[in-house]
Amino acid sequence: MVKKLRVGWFSFTCCEDSTMIWIEMMNQRFFEWKSLLDIRHARVLKKKNSMRGLDVAFVEGAITNDADAKKLMQIRKNAKRVVAIGACAVNGMPAAQRNTFPPELKEEISFLLKRFKQADKVRMVKEVIPIDDEVQGCPMEEDVFLKVLDKYLKEFGVVNA
């Protein structure tokens, strides 16, 4: 069997523009990536998804509630490497804007946090789990993403180092 990099793409709270960038990148790289990537989890691409046995998980967005934090921990357990994708995942902003609200505004939105089971504080990915890499940018910087992907294609023996 030809070795492919087993990857998953996950989006938490955000506008998902890095996902759009990734999909746009596929327009040019579809046949190249088809032979290199085994995309096991990407809800934007398919209905049947599995996060088991991933080599690399790409995680976009900030973590706004305990259920998402638990899911992120599951991803960490199932993936050998985790890469935070885009500013919201890497440093929380702009998705974490409500963390910076003054006390009176926090008070004003508190009923919404309760109603939608949201945590008091929005967290970046590395506040919940350890990460191996990050791709900055809002949305993500394409050339940095390609460098990170290339690094793992080599590390996992999919292409020659």
The correct pick among 9, 59, 86, 145 for binding ligand SF4 (CB under 6 A) is 86
What strands, in cross-sheet order, belong to the sheet with 79-85? 37-42, 5-11, 54-60, 79-85, 133-135
**Count of residues of this chain found to bind ligand SF4 when the rule CB under 6 A is applied:** 13
- By beta-carbon proximity to ligand SF4, the closer residue of 94 and 157 is 94
Supply the DSSP string of 70-128, one letter for each residue: HHHHHHHHHEEEEEEEHHHHHH-TTTTGGGGS-HHHHHHHHHHHHHTT--SS-B-GGGT
Instruction: Pick the stretch among 12-20, 31-39, 46-54, 116-124 that binds ligand SF4 (CB under 6 A).
Output: 12-20
Considering the complex, what minimum distance in angstroms separates the CB of residue 65 from ligand SF4?
17
Instruction: Pick the stretch among 9-17, 49-57, 66-74, 117-125 that binds ligand SF4 (CB under 6 A).
Output: 9-17
Instruction: Pick the stretch among 34-42, 67-75, 85-93, 118-126 that binds ligand SF4 (CB under 6 A).
Output: 85-93
Question: Does residue 17 bind ligand SF4 (CB under 6 A)?
Answer: yes
Q: Encoding tokens for residue 113?
A: 């946090």
> What's the CA gap between 85 and 57, in Å, rounded?
10
- Scored b (16 or more CB within 10 A) or e, 71-94 reads bbeebbebbebbbbbbbbbbbbee
Question: Does residue 139 bind ligand SF4 (CB under 6 A)?
Answer: yes
Question: Does residue 15 bind ligand SF4 (CB under 6 A)?
Answer: yes
Q: Which residues bind ligand SF4 (CB under 6 A)?
A: 14-15, 17-18, 60-61, 86-88, 94-95, 138-139
